[in-house]
Amino acid sequence: MIQPNESEANTIKTAKLPVAEYIEVALNVLAPIWILYFMCLLRRPFFHLNLRILLANFSISLMFLTFSRVIILLAYNGQMWMLYISMVHDACVFSIIDGAALLAGERLVATCLVDNYEKSRNWWIAVVLCLCMWCVNGTFAYFVDILALTEKYEVYYSPILTMFSIMLVMNCFGVGVFLLVNRYNKSRWKVDLQKNLTHRYQIKENIRTSKQLLIALLVDFVISVYFFVIINHRMSMRFTKNWVDDTLSQIFDFSCTLSAFLMPYLFISSHPRLRVIAKKHFYRIKRVNVKQQNEERRKPPGAMAQQEANVYFNQLTSSWDNAKVKTRNAATNRIGKK
């Protein structure tokens, strides 16, 4: 392992804008709650098993991204171990960018095998693809964060730029395939009117799923393009520190944090059944809170029994008084008639 010296290690210090830093930390702390909730919802069979595995992998990348970013913001000290935290952070960013290609590939297979894909249980293929993607992204993050900080850093500029270009092309390919698959499924839905209901139902599911994931992939695509522009600009400036690069880098990190916070909401809100389940969960929590407040306001059983007895006797006394008044009035009327 090539160890960067102290002056070179200090070049990776993250930029810190005054107000945005505190907002970013708050979002990074809150985002894992949403991500964990979405991962719990993925246990239900709303999507195909392979797609649920890929979405869980995407969510794990978002979660580790927020954790590593909090450490970088709050505990940065320029030591060697912070390079490994930065490496984890960059590996998560690369995994999010590459996630579009995996999701697009899964939807492409689901479209080609529309009649048999729902019965397929080859979940291990999705797991192997996720592990391979993590290995590739981890190696590339090590290459960028460790090797590029050595004295021969200029040697690595061309390979780094090539790898980033490949990642951007993969992301563009994923979004393009997603759009084509969605368009193709819509045309199949209109043409295959004579097919059986199972066939048409699977096509409808492919259309709905592609529409739901497209929003997230478009956000991912914008982040990927912005990331490529920043890296290209920093490499053209030979990684010299200036306020423009620092500001652009912090905007990118803030965008990643905001995406980690909003992605689970986009996935849940765009799926009808997931949205209904989420509403039931939060409505149930609200009802439980109201019930607890009502129970706290209730009086002890003895006091309630005494109060009910007092009300009963008061009503009984009032009825007796009314009967006495009526009897007295009747007697007075009879005397008056005589």
Domain ranges of the chain: 6-289, 308-337
Global model pTM greater than 0.85: no
pLDDT of residue 184: 84
Q: How confident is the model at residue 32 (pLDDT cuts 50, 70, 90)?
A: very high
pLDDT of residue 295: 47
Residue that wins the pLDDT comparison between 55 and 11:
55
158-169 pLDDT, tens digit per residue, is 777 888 888 888
pLDDT of residue 56: 92
For the chain, percent of residues with pLDDT exceeding 90 = 12
pLDDT exceeds 50 at position 199? yes
Q: What is the mean pLDDT of residues 290-312?
A: 51
pLDDT exceeds 80 at position 93? yes
pLDDT of residue 35: 92
- Range name among 76-80, 99-103, 134-138, 220-224 with the lowest pLDDT average: 76-80
Q: At what angle do helices 123-145 and 49-74 cross, to 10 degrees?
A: 20
C-beta separation of 25 from 70 below 8 A = yes
- Range name among 38-42, 53-57, 123-127, 298-302 with the lowest pLDDT average: 298-302
Measure the CA–CA gap between 9 and 24, rounded to whole angstroms. Answer: 23
pLDDT exceeds 80 at position 31? yes
For the chain, percent of residues with pLDDT exceeding 70 = 71
Residues constituting the chain? 338
pLDDT of residue 235: 72
Residue that wins the pLDDT comparison between 113 and 93:
93
Measure the CA–CA gap between 138 and 144, rounded to whole angstroms. Answer: 10
Q: What is the mean pLDDT of residues 24-53?
A: 89
What residue spans of 42-120 are helical by DSSP H?
49-74, 80-112
Tally Cβ neighbours within 10 Å of residue 170: 18
C-beta separation of 90 from 55 below 8 A = no
pLDDT exceeds 90 at position 13? no
Please give the C-alpha separations between residue 127 and each of 43, 131, 217, 292, 312, in angstroms, as whole numbers: 16, 6, 20, 44, 71
pLDDT of residue 210: 80
pLDDT exceeds 60 at position 282? yes
Token pair 């006797």 is at which residue? 313
Q: What is the mean pLDDT of residues 237-264?
A: 79
- Range name among 14-23, 36-45, 182-191, 306-315 with the lowest pLDDT average: 306-315
pLDDT of residue 193: 61
C-beta separation of 136 from 163 below 8 A = no
Q: What is the mean pLDDT of residues 47-65?
A: 90
Q: CB within 8 A of 286, min separation 6: which ones?
A: none
Measure the CA–CA gap between 12 and 246, rounded to whole angstroms. Answer: 10
Residue that wins the pLDDT comparison between 196 and 42:
42
128-157 pLDDT, tens digit per residue, is 999 999 999 998 888 887 766 665 666 777
Q: What is the mean pLDDT of residues 9-33?
A: 72
CATH number for the segment(s) 6-289? 1.20.1070.10
In the structure encoding, which two tokens stand for residue 282, read together?
């939060």
pLDDT of residue 76: 67
pLDDT exceeds 80 at position 33? yes
Q: At what angle do helices 80-112 and 243-269 cross, to 10 degrees?
A: 40
